[in-house]
Amino acid sequence: MKLSSFYTLLLIYISVTAAFLVYFVFLQHFGAKGLQFSLGGHDSVFGIFDVLILMLLPVATALFVISFMAFMRRRDKRLFITSVAFFFFLVKQVLNILQNFFPREFIFIGNAESALELLILVSFVFLLYRK
């Protein structure tokens, strides 16, 4: 991968992440209703869906940590892009938990998740790109 394409990818990451933070924190006013936790989530019943959401968080964290440790050992740009993609996957899982277990917060997590999925897909496209 050329250095210029790496910087292009880094610029995409930074700009979408900044827009995501502005949207989520300032425009959506997350936390304005006091962050009232509900164990049952949106459906008020703790079930298999809630367990799956909670199980994905340690898996996403492990994927990110393993890929980041591999990047720290080898200092390869491809490993950096992989670890960034797994970091965005981890953030997406945190957003799923916030959406499910804080139902009084009327925020549009779907928009933020779409932005994160875009970043993940862009990461994988750059990984496949060879020159």
Residues of the chain with pLDDT > 90: what percent?
18
DSSP per residue, 69-88: HHHHHH--HHHHHHHHHHHH
What is the arithmetic mean of pLDDT over 89-104? 84
pTM of the model: 0.76
Contacts of 32 by beta carbon, 8 Å cutoff, 6+ apart: 105
> What is the token pair recorded at 51?
């367990």
Domain boundaries, the chain: 3-128
Cα separation of 35 and 93, whole Å? 18
Does the pLDDT value for residue 131 go beyond 60? no
Does the pLDDT value for residue 33 go beyond 90? no
List Cα–Cα distances, 50 to 16, 56, 66, 101, 104, in angstroms. 29, 10, 25, 9, 17
